[in-house]
């Protein structure tokens, strides 16, 4: 949910002396980053930061890239998107696969194009693998194979997530150990890379090179776990009240189905049981809440161990703390 109580006003005096040119001194492009679990208030904080420092926002979210999926992915509202230019939102159709490699390439291009114009960007989102692909590179890539993915999505649908996960564990245990059976898209991608290259994804990653001339300052938004879970439950209820089921039906009418990568996202895959049995809506809502809480827990663990960052407590003082750190970073 969006934080409607935020006062989104640009305060020009407080940024005096801040270099607003993407830090191109010495060929280094400076990019502040706000990561964190879902439902911690990143969208609202990112908007305030972007207005303060005259930045565009690059969304680092593996679900918000899909068109027509607005409510269930908690995209910024139309008003918020008009207030600050966002990139990497609504970039592809729900039946298209979109990899970490593609995100790293696309986001890197946007960063460099903005730097050439003297414009800052802020990266904001909760997809740690996307950010790692941008920051560290992902090495050689294997193009997405649509038929392969559809075949495995059908197997997952008929035999369960564990069937896919066990196969990945067999061919690439290192990648499997950093994943989870519920990460269906990621696990299919890792299996796809192995099947078409003969090389485990974990080995390809070891050959990756970070982008030249880009420096990232990473902040990680934090809240107590019980508060995140409370916000998740409230947000899912609001999504249902705001028309998530209608959005899901509209996607089905457009021809997207359970084999579409976008429809495998939390908040959509659980609704397929409602299509044939409207009485099961309450069960689907509870499943969305449970899966979202599990996702947030994995995000918290992942950010804690995989990303070196400065924590920002997402309370009333978050904006002032983030503004101070970003201002000092851009001046450095």
Candidates 1.10.287.890, 3.40.50.620, 1.20.1740.10, 3.40.50.11310; CATH matching 228-294 = 1.10.287.890
Cβ neighbours of residue 101 closer than 8 Å, sequence gap 6 or more: 133, 138, 141
- Architecture of the 146-205 domain: Orthogonal Bundle (1.10)
The whole-angstrom separation of Cα 92 and Cα 32 is 25
Domain boundaries, the chain: 23-139+211-224+308-331, 146-205, 228-294
Candidates 3.40.190.10, 1.10.260.40, 3.30.1330.40, 3.40.50.300; CATH matching 23-139+211-224+308-331 = 3.40.50.300
> How far is CA 218 from each of CA 59, 79, 215, 224, 293, rounded to the nearest angstrom?
14, 27, 10, 20, 23
Helix, coil or strand: residue 260: coil
Task: Locate 143 and state its tokens.
Answer: 């193009």
Rounded to two decimals, the pTM is: 0.81
For residue 246, give the nearest of 274, 227, 225 by alpha carbon. 274
pLDDT (tens, 9 = 90+) of the chain, 332 residues, equals 333 333 333 333 444 444 544 444 557 999 999 999 999 999 999 999 999 999 999 999 999 999 999 999 999 999 999 999 999 999 999 999 888 888 998 999 999 999 999 999 999 999 999 999 999 886 656 777 888 988 998 999 899 999 999 999 999 999 999 899 988 988 998 999 899 888 888 887 777 778 899 999 999 999 999 999 999 999 999 999 999 999 999 999 999 999 899 999 999 999 999 988 988 999 999 999 999 999 999 999 999 988 999 999 999 999 999 999 999 999 98
């Amino acid at each position: 949910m969006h934080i409607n109580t935020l006062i989104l006003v640009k305060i020009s005096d407080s940024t005096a002396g801040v270099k607003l040119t993407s830090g191109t001194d010495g060929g280094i492009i400076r990019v502040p980053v706000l990561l964190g679990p879902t439902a911690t208030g990143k969208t609202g904080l990112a908007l305030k930061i972007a207005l303060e420092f005259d930045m565009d926002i690059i969304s680092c979210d593996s679900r918000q890239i899909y068109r027509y999926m607005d409510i269930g992915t908690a995209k910024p509202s139309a008003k918020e998107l008009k207030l600050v230019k966002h990139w990497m939102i609504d970039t592809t159709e729900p039946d298209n696969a979109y990899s970490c490699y593609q995100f790293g390439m696309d986001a890197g291009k946007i960063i460099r194009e903005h730097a050439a114009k003297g414009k800052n960007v802020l990266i904001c989102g909760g997809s740690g693998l996307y950010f790692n692909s941008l920051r560290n590179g992902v090495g050689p890539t294997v193009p997405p194979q649509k038929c392969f993915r559809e075949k495995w999505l059908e197997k997952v649908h008929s035999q369960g997530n564990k069937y896919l996960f066990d196969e990945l564990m067999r061919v690439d245990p290192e990648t499997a150990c950093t994943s989870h059976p519920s990460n269906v898209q990621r696990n299919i991608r890792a299996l796809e890379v192995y099947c078409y290259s003969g090389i485990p994804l974990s080995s390809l990653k070891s050959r990756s090179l970070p982008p030249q001339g880009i420096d990232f300052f990473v902040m990680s938004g934090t809240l107590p776990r019980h508060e995140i879970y409370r916000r998740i439950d409230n947000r899912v209820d609001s999504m249902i009240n705001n028309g998530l089921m209608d959005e899901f039906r509209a996607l089905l009418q457009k021809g997207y189905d359970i084999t579409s990568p976008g429809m495998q996202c939390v908040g959509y895959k659980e609704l397929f049981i409602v299509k044939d049995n409207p009485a099961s809506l309450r069960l689907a809502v509870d499943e969305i809440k449970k899966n979202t809480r599990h996702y947030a827990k994995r995000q918290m663990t992942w950010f804690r161990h995989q990303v070196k960052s400065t924590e920002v407590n997402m309370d009333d003082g978050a904006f002032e703390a983030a503004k101070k750190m970003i201002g000092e970073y851009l001046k450095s």
